[in-house]
């Protein structure tokens, strides 16, 4: 008994480690279970009669629903009894539109795409399949315009606080208070306390393994705030995407585009003479080569942030689609053995995705530091 | 006539994307394999090798994704 108490006080004891390990495994399993039960409900009773095509279409819809941005924060859906409609549980988000004036209302007015909303004499409908808002007449028919022989749906300018925007804002607030608290804890003493205990090694890792080797001692200080922000922002959002809430912020090309543009602007705004020299007049090569290299280097300036954008977006989106599809496959089979096998596979991939969440944040920060290094480099002749 | 040309063009696009993805896969596999050998020879340089490996793999991965986006 005494040894047990002593064990508890010592963090490195085997019992404590076992408890922590158990909790970690529990935390890993929960998302899979919640995800699976949340999206689909049970396949029993008359639901068994669904044909394969119907199931396939349903699964496709399910994956799309979880990877797309939406105008409401859906938590889960309760499948209605025969003849009744499914009820969606969640909370609505504000819709902000610009169409000859500002239109602001809550997304609950759409009733999940079933009703037309009238605001200041304009009518809007929500297409529940692609999650976008379109202009309509009072009967709910989407207004269309003919462009080059093709019909294009008319849509207002959409500045809504969607699910992605809400999560991004919440994450920014969380990061702000978390890291302000960490910074404050160093004012009382050098030993880290509280959250700083956990985050200090990661912050030091970014400084010593990413910033200093790539940018160089001294000039790395200028870039550290951005590197730390971008690393934790991407990592936390990736982790938020692993929860069963269906958040897919880093798998949205607009978000990664904004991050890549920031890297692009900082790289070029802080670039020294040496950086521009290497782009426009490469030193150390014959003059015909200098002329040949110039356009290639100029393209390279834009390709680098473009690749950053695509890499993060595609990795996270692909991860979500693969996970969603595998969970959907669990419900596709009727055989117990097949279901079990796919639950195992989903669990395994979930763990891989947790690793990818960290890896993608690391790679984004690493490559950003690499580009900053090229910009901050002094001539060495 | 026009329809079949479109079909063939689509098929060629898909095959091309497949080839690029195979190439990217082989490339990343080779990087991983070489990194393993390098770590086996110089275990003390593991950290540096891992970093270089990840960067190279990430760069190749970008090309694979670009191919996928060209057809998607």
| CA-based R_g, chain B, Å | 18
pLDDT score, position A189: 78
Report how many domains make up chain B: 1
Asked if the C-beta of A307 comes within 8 angstroms of chain B's C-beta atoms, the answer is yes
What distance in Å separates residue B46's CA from the closest CA in chain A?
Answer: 13
The answer to whether A238 and A360 are in contact (CB under 8 A) is yes
Question: Which of A38, A32, A64, A41 is closest to A346 using CA atoms?
Answer: A32
The answer to whether A67 and A248 are in contact (CB under 8 A) is yes
Question: Which of A126, A34, A108 is closest to A72 using CA atoms?
Answer: A108
* Structure tokens, A134: 């379109």
- CA atoms of B38 and A33, how far apart (whole Å): 41
ipTM field: 0.73
A2 forms beta bridges with: none
- CA atoms of A98 and A124, how far apart (whole Å): 11
- CA atoms of A116 and B49, how far apart (whole Å): 59
Model pLDDT for residues A287-314, shown as the tens digit of each residue: 898 999 999 999 989 988 988 998 899 8
pLDDT score, position A20: 65
Model pLDDT for residues B4-43, shown as the tens digit of each residue: 888 898 889 889 989 999 999 999 999 999 999 999 999 9
Residue A224 scores a pLDDT above 90: yes
Read off the CATH number of the domain in which B61 is found.
1.20.20.10
Question: What residues in A contact B61, CB-CB < 8 Å?
Answer: 311, 315
Helix pair angle (A287-332, A14-40), 10° resolution:
80
List b or e across A343-376, with b for residues whose CB sees 16 or more CB atoms inside 10 angstroms. beebbebbeebbebbebbbbbbbbbbbbbbbbbb
Asked if the C-beta of A299 comes within 8 angstroms of chain B's C-beta atoms, the answer is no
The SS3 call for residue A246 is coil
Domain range holding B56?
2-71
Backbone angles phi, psi at A133, to 5 degrees: -100, 135
How many A-B residue pairs are in contact by the CB < 8 A criterion?
A: 31
What average pLDDT does the structure give for chain B? Answer: 88
Asked if the C-beta of A321 comes within 8 angstroms of chain B's C-beta atoms, the answer is no
Model pLDDT for residues A320-331, shown as the tens digit of each residue: 888 888 888 888
pLDDT score, position A62: 77
Model pLDDT for residues A109-134, shown as the tens digit of each residue: 777 767 787 777 778 888 777 778 88
């Amino acid at each position: 008994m005494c040894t047990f108490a002593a064990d508890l006080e010592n963090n490195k004891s085997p019992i404590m480690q076992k408890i922590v390990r158990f909790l970690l495994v529990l935390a890993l399993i929960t998302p899979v279970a919640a995800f699976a039960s949340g999206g689909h409900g049970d396949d029993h009773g008359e639901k068994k009669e669904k044909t394969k095509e119907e199931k396939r279409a349903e699964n496709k819809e399910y994956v799309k629903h979880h990877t797309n941005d939406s105008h409401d924060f859906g938590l889960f859906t309760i499948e209605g009894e025969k003849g009744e409609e499914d009820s969606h549980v969640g909370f609505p988000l504000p819709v902000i539109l610009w169409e000859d004036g500002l239109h602001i209302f809550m997304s609950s007015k759409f009733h999940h795409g079933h009703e037309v909303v009238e605001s200041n004499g304009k009518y809007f409908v929500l297409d529940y399949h692609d999650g976008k808002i379109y202009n309509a007449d009072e009967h709910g028919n989407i207004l269309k315009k003919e462009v080059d022989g093709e019909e294009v749906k008319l849509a207002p300018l959409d500045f809504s606080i969607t699910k992605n925007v809400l999560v991004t804002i919440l994450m920014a607030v969380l990061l702000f208070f978390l890291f302000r608290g960490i910074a404050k804890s160093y004012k009382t003493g050098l030993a880290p306390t509280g959250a700083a205990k956990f985050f200090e090694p990661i912050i030091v890792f970014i400084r010593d393994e990413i910033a200093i080797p790539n940018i160089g001692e001294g000039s790395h200080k200028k870039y550290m705030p951005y590197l730390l922000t971008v690393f934790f922002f991407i990592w936390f959002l990736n982790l938020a995407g692993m929860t069963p809430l269906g958040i897919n912020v880093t798998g949205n090309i607009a978000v990664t585009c904004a991050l890549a543009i920031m890297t692009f602007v900082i790289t070029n705004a802080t670039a020294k003479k040496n950086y521009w020299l290497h782009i426009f007049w490469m030193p150390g090569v014959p003059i015909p080569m200098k002329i040949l290299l110039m356009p290639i280097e100029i393209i390279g300036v834009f390709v680098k942030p473009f690749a950053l954008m695509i890499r993060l977006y595609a990795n996270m989106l692909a991860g979500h689609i693969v996970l969603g599809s595998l969970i959907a496959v669990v419900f596709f089979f009727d055989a117990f053995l097949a279901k079990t096998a796919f639950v195992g596979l989903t669990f395994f991939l979930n763990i891989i995705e947790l690793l990818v969440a960290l890896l993608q944040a690391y790679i984004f920060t690493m490559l950003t530091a690499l580009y900053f290094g090229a910009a901050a480099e002094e001539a060495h002749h | 006539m026009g329809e079949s040309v479109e079909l063939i063009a689509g098929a060629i696009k898909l095959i091309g994307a497949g080839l690029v993805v195979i190439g990217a896969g082989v490339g990343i596999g080779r990087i991983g394999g070489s990194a393993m050998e390098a770590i086996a020879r110089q275990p003390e340089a593991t950290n540096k090798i891992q970093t270089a490996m990840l960067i190279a793999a990430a760069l190749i991965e970008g090309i694979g994704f670009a191919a996928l986006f060209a057809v998607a």
